[in-house]
Structure 1
Amino acid sequence: MSADDQAFLDVLSSLPVSLQRYSNDIADYVDKHVEQLAETLRDTLANASWVPEQFRPQPPPPPPILAVPASALDKLQSWLSRNKYLIGFVVVTGGYAAYKTYQSTARWRKPRRARRARNGGRVDVVVIAGSPALPLTRSLSLDLERKGFIVFIVANSHEDEIMVQNLARPDIRPLGMDITDAVNAGNSIDAFARYLQSPHASVPNGRRHHLSLQAVILIPSLNYQTSPIATIPPSSFADLFNTHLLRPILTIQAFLPLLTARLGPPSAERSRPSLLSSSPNASPKVLVFTPSIISSINPPFHAPEATVCSALSAFTEVLAAELRPLGIPVTHMQLGTFDFAGFTPAARSRLVHQPGLGDNGADAQSWPDAARRAYGRNFATQSASPISTGRIMPGLRGSSLKELHNAVFDVIDGSVTSGTVRVGLGASVYGFVGRWFPRGLVSWMMGIRKVDDLATWQGNKGSSAYGSPRSPRSPRDHLSPAGSDKEKEAGSDSFVAVPPLEQVQDSDVWKEH
């Protein structure tokens, strides 16, 4: 075979391979463009509004996603990125709670002792102007005496002096003062000032030292009547304002000359070195206690307590503004509910007894029929409400008295300088509720509902619409002291007689739960 024949055969053998390659290229080109054309046509028909829904081609399924297993770190980062706001809230709340817990623990463990003279005698004096019958007065005086203070309790009568002496503490002493007699009160203050300025010895023939007045604590009467305004006679309002409002104001007024006098040792002894272990405070403090729960929310049927406590709060603000330039701090102690269980003996349990539904029901039964129809149902409902008794929820006991004792000591020694201190269960909560919550919502939470069944006006002679008999005395006599004929003859417009504690219902705040 010649060379030409071999070349011809090679050309013929390569023709099928070239044809196959060319045919494959043509097929790939056609498939690619046909597929693009089909996709374009499918998308056009799927989005065309003139094509019926049932004839529109379905879009192709998305390509499968291959799940790659994520590491623990990736999962954590993904969760943090999705919940960053929640995490921020938890961090801020937890940090604040931890700070408050640490602060509270530090305050709780803080050593609290009154100053002593170098000879070991007591030098700090505290005056408590409050009834010795109140559990709060007794608990606070006993605690201050244990911490090294000499405590004087203002005794307005011989019975009060006996109650103070029954505490059987040598450094808890009565300070006899008839606040209804201005001359007697002034003489008592003068005698007390001379006592503070006189040198004292802790043991016979021991080294003498002078006393220092550290604080005057005002604890007003805490017994208030719970009743609709329509059923409270004018004489009760007059007695209430005189005994619960005017008496505390006059007590502070009697002590103001003593507070502003800058008591100290006689001038001949001021140049001597001090016998105290530390320098005395610049001036005594004034602490005014008021229950704050009822006056914060002003609920129905608590007009006496809300009115008196609001007036005392305003009086305390004015007093603080007047004494601030004189360097005398005034602190308003707004108190919540405290647990007096185990503190008050059975003989005095009536002083902290919380009237139940039976007591309130008995009061409502004595009302006229019109008053029972108008107020009876709501009065009974709110009396059973935890809000009315100063509790956050049923069965929750009050705060420990140690919390109050620590707060009072911190104010006396200058650790707390705030003008208002809230202490006790519910004091801060109800202060927030009273400031920001609508009054209608608070009343609804206490069970107050609309009353449609009202009585018809009868117009009985000699009585009002609610059956309260008209007194033969003039309206001016209603506001004058009851049973004080001798004072009327002398032209005095002093106090009304203080009713016995058995005749006055206890406050809803100061209860043993």
Structure 2
Amino acid sequence: MSADDQAFLDILSSVPNDIRKYSGEVADYVDSHLEKVSNTLREALSSSKWIPESARPRPPPPPPKSFQMSVAPTVLGQLQCWVLKHKVLTTIVVLAIGGVTYKVIRRKVNRKKRRAKRASNGARLEVVVIAGPASEPITRSISLDLERRGFIVYIVCNTIEEEMLVQNEARPDIKPLMIDIVDPESARASIERFKLHLQSPHAAFQGAKPHHLSLRSLILIPSPSYPSSPIATLSPSTLSDLLNTRLLTPILTTQTFLPLLHATPLPYPTHHSLPANAKQGEKPSVLLLTPSIISSLSPSFHLPESLITTALTSFTSVLTSELSPLNIPVTHLQLGTFDVSSFTHNKALVTTTQAQRAETLKWDDGSRQAYARNFVAVNSKGGGGVGAVGKGSSLRELNNAVFDAMVSGRAGTVRVGMGSRTYGFVGRWVPRSLVGWMMGVRRVGEPRGEFGRGGIFGESLGLGPSRSTSPGSASSGNVHGLGESEYVSVYQGDTLPEGDYPDGFRDEHDGYDGNGH
């Protein structure tokens, strides 16, 4: 069979289908018209008067009507339409309401009553031990605040000088606690004497009902001040001293107090009343306060602070895991910047650019050539320390956070102070190269632009080809903040204008060590 024959047969086979299709369409068309004609006739006959009523056909049923209910727009719908039309204004309103709500809630939290528990006769019952340098503004602020709230505050002292500083506060409920943590036997004996003191009955006044003291919290405050220097210029003795005073001291202090923390609440004689928290079996809390800005960013020339703070963070994590089964909460307070001008003379915290330049003159020629410009640039950004004059959060915020952490009974990490949360986010998510660039770090030999510290810095440091540094101008072994106090002229014979000197520089800084102290 040829292809033409096959095509003809296909056409013939499709003819019945086409006939069925077209016949169906014609039938539908005829039916629709016949139905219209029949309905018209039926309607006309049903309304004719000449046909008897019994013979009249019924009128056709009315066509179905589509039911549409007009619903008035609701308030929510109108609000949605308005929001879609005014997105910018809606965003401003939401931000304003959120800001006002945050302020109101924060004000209520700050006004919350924070007081220590007292006996029925008003006697103080709860004891707080603070292990931190007695001369630090943070230590003084926390101790004075806790004493005002009704606690008996003991500050751990290692030397006679520290004991005299505590006694100079002239507050009867802020007392020194002498503990030599370097000597384990002496430290153990001091803890036993302190334990017996807590177990002994006390009377607020003669004839009053005796009461007992209970340990509320142990607060560890390592010194928040650290030297800044390139790794190449840090001497082994400096690193050893920093590790001993900033890292080992808090660890050994905690180790010394652990037996007392385990034994609390202490057993008291049954014929004397117990403090309320002793009846409930509450355990004392452990607080560790460390700066967080430098450790979050890990910038150049801040190895000691970054290293020690990170190590203390790991120590807190391990201590939390060990003490959690014993129901002893451990809280790590990561501090931002606080205004400590009320506790420190302003001149003690002023670090000028001239002081930073003078510090670089103590380095050898190779270190000065490699690090001096970036060192001055990074340190001129502000340093990011805990203490500041005229800037930073109020110390009241820190005091409230310490009290809340003491009584909450929950372990964890708390960020408090200006910059603590922001710099934590920046250090976690912003690329490290961008952080360094923002702090003024540039490649050696790269021209400095708007954000740099070139030109005059290099000349004043003796880095340019036209200047040379005398061999006696560099003092090896002295590190920023820890070396021997000796003022080194920055301009090597040049005289600064009168306005470029810090206040009282000529009169009070004959022994200037380049650190602002």
Query: Is 1:381 paired with 2:377?
Result: yes
Query: Which residue of 2 is the match for residue 319 of structure 1?
Result: 319
- Retained in 2: the 8 A contact 1:224–1:505? no
d(CA) in 2 for partners of 1:154, 1:194: 17
- Residue 434 of structure 1 is matched in structure 2 by 427
Pairs within 5 Å for 1:60-79: none
Q: Which residue of 1 aligns with 2:194?
A: 192
Instruction: Work out the number of aligned pairs and report it.
Output: 382
Find the counterpart in structure 2 of residue 250 from structure 1: 252
Residue 397 of structure 1: aligned partner: 391
C-alpha distance 222-506 of structure 1, shift in aligned 2 (>3 A): farther
Equivalence map 1:429-468=2 (5 Å):
429-452=422-445
Matches within 5 A, 1:471-490: none
In structure 1, the residue matched to 2:452 is none
TM-score, L = length of structure 1: 0.69
AA at the equivalent of 2:160: H
Instruction: Work out whether 1:366 is the aligned partner of 2:362.
Output: yes
CA pair 437-230 structure 1, distance change in 2 beyond 3 A:
same
CA distance 1:145–1:117, change in 2 (3 Å): same
Shift, 1:280, TM fit: 5.5
1:367, CA displacement in angstroms?
1.1
1:435-486, CA deviations, whole angstroms, 9 ceiling, x for partnerless residues?
A: 111111111111111114899xxxxxxxxxx9969xxxxxxxxxxxxxxxxx
Unaligned 5+ runs, structure 1: 1-74, 456-465, 470-501
Amino acid at match of 1:82: K
Q: Decide whether aligned partners of structure 1 residues 441 and 259 sit closer, same or farther in structure 2, where only a CA change above 3 A counts.
A: same
For 2:401, the aligned partner's letter is A
Match of 1:11 in 2: none
TM-superposed CA distance for 1:418, in Å, is 5.1
SS at match of 2:338: coil
Match of 2:222 in 1: 220
5 Å matches for 1:100-115? Answer: 100-115=102-117
| Equivalent position of 1:150 in the other structure | 152
- Find the residue that maps to 2:344 and give its secondary structure: coil
Q: Which residue matches 1:203?
A: 205
Distance 1:422 1:190 in 2: 35
CA contact (8 A) 2:361 2:475 kept: no
Distance (whole Å) between structure 1 residues aligned to residue 170 and residue 328 of structure 2: 32
- Structure 1 residues 281 and 397: CA distance shift in structure 2, 3 A: farther
The residue that corresponds to 1:179 in the other structure is 181
Counterpart of 2:84 in structure 1 is 81
Kindly indicate whether the alpha-carbon contact (under 8 Å) linking 2:283 and 2:327 is maintained by their aligned counterparts in 1.
Answer: yes
The answer as to whether partners of 1:112 and 1:409 remain within 8 angstroms in 2 is yes
- Counterpart amino acid of 1:389? G
- The match for 1:422 among 415, 418, 431 is 415
Give SS of 2:331's match.
strand
The residue identity in structure 2 corresponding to 1:173 is K
| SS of equivalent residue, structure 2 residue 250 | helix
User: In the TM superposition, what is the alpha-carbon distance from 1:93 to its structure 2 partner?
Assistant: 3.9
- Aligned residue for 1:199, secondary structure, equals coil
* Partner Cα distance (1:99, 1:356) in 2: 41
Amino acid at match of 1:404: L
Indicate how the Cα distance of structure 1 residues 160 and 468 shifts in structure 2: closer, same or farther if over 3 A, else same. closer
Structure-1 separation of matches of 2:445 and 2:225: 33
Distance 1:77 1:429, change over 3 A: closer
Relative distance call for 1:170 and 1:504 in structure 2 (3 A) is farther
The residue number in structure 1 matching 2:3 is: none
With over 3 angstroms needed to count, the CA separation of the structure-2 counterparts of 1:345 and 1:167, relative to structure 1, is farther
1:389, CA displacement in angstroms? 3.1
1:301 aligns with 2:297: no
Please state if 1:133 is matched with 2:127. no
How far apart in 2 are the matches of 1:421 and 1:123?
Answer: 27
Rounded Cα–Cα distance in structure 2 between residues aligned with 1:505 and 1:305: 19
Is contact 1:215–1:412 with CA below 8 Å preserved after alignment? yes
| Cα deviation, residue 106, structure 1 | 1.1
Q: TM-score, with normalisation over the residues of structure 2?
A: 0.68
Quick one: distance in 1 between partners of 2:225 and 2:232? 20
Distance 2:339 2:379 in 1: 19
How do 1:233-312 and structure 2 match up within 5 A? 233-266=235-268, 268-269=270-271, 274=274, 276=276, 282-312=282-312
Deviation at 1:103, TM superposition (A): 2.2
The root-mean-square deviation of aligned C-alpha atoms, in Å, is: 3.1
Q: 1:287 to 1:427 in 2, by over 3 A?
A: same
Answer whether contact 2:353 2:380 (CA < 8 A) is retained. yes
Alpha-carbon shift at residue 232 of structure 1 (Å): 0.6
| CA distance, structure 2, for counterparts of residue 467 and residue 113 of structure 1 | 52
